């Protein structure tokens, strides 16, 4: 009876040891979270530049990946509500024949 049949699984996954959480990565995550909460309108490229100026070696793609993992995003823009009715300053009906509206 082969050893891999005895251990119900592949031999390569049986010997795998999970990596411990990286202290550098956890500090970077807390730094990104702090800046994202301080400046919610700032996107990942600007946050990556700020991190580089402070000495972090993470690139923009890594910052983007970490922000997505942390659930951080730039708030969506609110749409402008269109004014309706007589207060718009535009005529709502023709005043005379051949009246030009615009």
Residue extents of the structural domains in the chain:
21-74
- Residue 49 three-state SS: helix
pLDDT at 49 over 90: yes
Question: pLDDT of 67-100, one tens digit each?
Answer: 999 999 888 888 888 777 666 666 667 788 888 7
- Separation CA 70–CA 76 (nearest Å): 17
**101/89 Cα distance (integer angstroms):** 11
How far is the C-alpha of 35 from the C-alpha of 93, rounded, in Å?
52
pTM: predicted TM-score of the whole model, two decimal places:
0.58
In three-state secondary structure terms, 7 is coil
């Amino acid at each position: 009876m082969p050893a891999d049949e005895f251990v119900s699984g592949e031999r390569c996954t049986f010997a795998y040891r999970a990596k411990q959480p990286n202290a550098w990565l956890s500090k970077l995550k807390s730094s990104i979270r702090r800046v994202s909460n301080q400046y919610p309108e700032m996107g990942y490229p600007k946050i990556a530049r700020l991190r580089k100026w402070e000495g972090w070696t993470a690139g923009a793609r890594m910052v983007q990946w970490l922000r997505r993992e942390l659930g951080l995003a730039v708030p969506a823009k609110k749409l402008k509500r269109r004014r309706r009715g007589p207060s718009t300053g535009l005529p709502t009906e023709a005043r005379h024949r051949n009246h030009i509206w615009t």
